[in-house]
């Protein structure tokens, strides 16, 4: 069984379009994340969400918005896509203790190409 699954795996779209990436986890975790991996492989957190609190990385444009219908899902909506949005987007969920994240489980990634 896949722990964290995201769809689609590949997404090619034109500038200006609106698109969504879906993510589901079956691990029972309360906290989910979206990360962006750029062309140089650098990973940076975009959002974290734990059904109580949404934490937004202040550098993320407001064209990006997470939507969580329930604690097993955290979808990513992107409006007015730009060329610079091309990247691999990873969804993750985390097990936690009182201190913080004890392990993050990642999806296989969605390679977004904006043309």
Partner 1 sequence: AQSVTQLDSQVPVFEEAPVELRCNYSSSVSVYLFWYVQYPNQGLQLLLKYLSGSTLVESINGFEAEFNKSQTSFHLRKPSVHISDTAEYFCAVSDRGGGADGLTFGKGTHLIIQP
Q: Are strands 19-25 and 4-7 parallel, antiparallel or unpaired?
A: antiparallel
Residue 7 in contact with partner 1, rule: CB under 8 A: no
Residues, the chain = 115
Q: Which is nearer to partner 1, 14 or 42 (CB)?
A: 42
Residue 82 in contact with partner 1, rule: CB under 8 A: no
Q: Which is nearer to partner 1, 1 or 53 (CB)?
A: 53
Residue 15 in contact with partner 1, rule: CB under 8 A: no
CB of 77 to partner 1, least distance (A): 19
Question: What whole-number distance in Å separates Cα of residue 21 and Cα of residue 91?
Answer: 9
Residue with the two structure tokens 């091309």: 86
Q: Which is nearer to partner 1, 28 or 100 (CB)?
A: 100
Question: What whole-number distance in Å separates Cα of residue 78 and Cα of residue 98?
Answer: 33
Residue 93 in contact with partner 1, rule: CB under 8 A: no
């Amino acid at each position: 069984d896949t722990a964290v699954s995201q769809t689609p795996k590949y997404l090619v779209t034109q500038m200006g379009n609106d698109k969504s990436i879906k993510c589901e986890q079956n691990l029972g975790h309360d906290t989910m994340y979206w990360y962006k991996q750029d062309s140089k492989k650098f990973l940076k957190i975009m959002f974290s969400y734990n059904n109580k609190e949404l934490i937004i990385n202040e550098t993320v444009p407001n064209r990006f918005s997470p939507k969580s219908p329930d604690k097993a899902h955290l979808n990513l909506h992107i409006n007015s896509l730009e060329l610079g949005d091309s990247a691999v987007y990873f969804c993750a969920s985390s097990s936690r203790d009182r201190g913080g994240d004890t392990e993050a489980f990642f999806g296989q990634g969605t390679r977004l190409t904006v043309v």
